[in-house]
Amino acid sequence: MHLVDRPKRMYPLGLLFGLGFDTAATIGMFITAGTASFQVSWALALALPVLFTAGMCLFATLDGAFMARLYGWAAQHTGRNFRYNVVITALSVAAALLIANVGFS
């Protein structure tokens, strides 16, 4: 935790997470399976996972900037900070319950 004390040091770590996990790998596997039946160049087959990863990086960056600004706004007053934390926690619980309900239906 002491190594990441500035945003510019967090960027390479986030980029590795975005490139290394199952989202881009899953799309790559779908395209690899799809190219078994169609003769498509590898450059074309890899374009979708690269674009997907770029989109994920873009929206994660926008989300981080938005949340940093929102949390800075909430931290200006003690009461506002408490209400913000309660609302965000309630929304997280509601989203988790909704996803669990849809997943088990």
Verify that 64 and 79 share a domain, yes or no.
Answer: no
Q: Are residues 88 and 38 in the same domain?
A: no
Confidence of residue 63 (pLDDT cuts 50, 70, 90): very high
Residues 46 and 62 occupy one common structural domain:
yes
User: Is the Cβ–Cβ distance between 18 and 57 less than 8 Å?
Assistant: yes
Count of domains observed in the chain: 2
Kindly state whether residues 56 and 84 are assigned to the same domain: no
Nearest to 34 by CA among 19, 49, 56: 49
Same domain, 11 and 57: yes
Q: Where are the alpha helices (DSSP H) in the chain?
A: 7-20, 22-35, 42-74, 78-104
Question: Could you list the residue range(s) of the whole structural domain that residue 95 is in?
Answer: 75-105
**CA 1 to chain centroid:** 21
18-60, pLDDT tens digit by residue? Answer: 666 666 666 666 666 666 556 767 777 677 777 877 888 899 8
How much is the pLDDT for 12? 75
The pTM assigned to this predicted structure is 0.52
Whether residues 64 and 95 share a domain: the answer is no
Burial of 24 (0-12, 13-18, 19+ CB in 10 A): buried
53 and 81 in a common domain: no
pLDDT above 70: residue 69: yes
Residues 38 and 54 in one domain: yes
**Cα 50 to chain centroid, rounded:** 15
Pair 96, 49 in one domain? no
**Is 44 found in the same domain as 1?**
yes
- The predicted pLDDT at position 92 comes to 94
For the chain, what percent of residues have pLDDT higher than 90?
Answer: 20
Those residues with Cβ within 8 angstroms of residue 46's Cβ, 6 or more apart along the chain or in another chain: 28, 31
Lowest-confidence segment of 4-18, 53-67, 80-94 by average pLDDT: 4-18
Instruction: Please compute the mean of the pLDDT values over residues 81-100 and round it to a whole number.
Output: 92
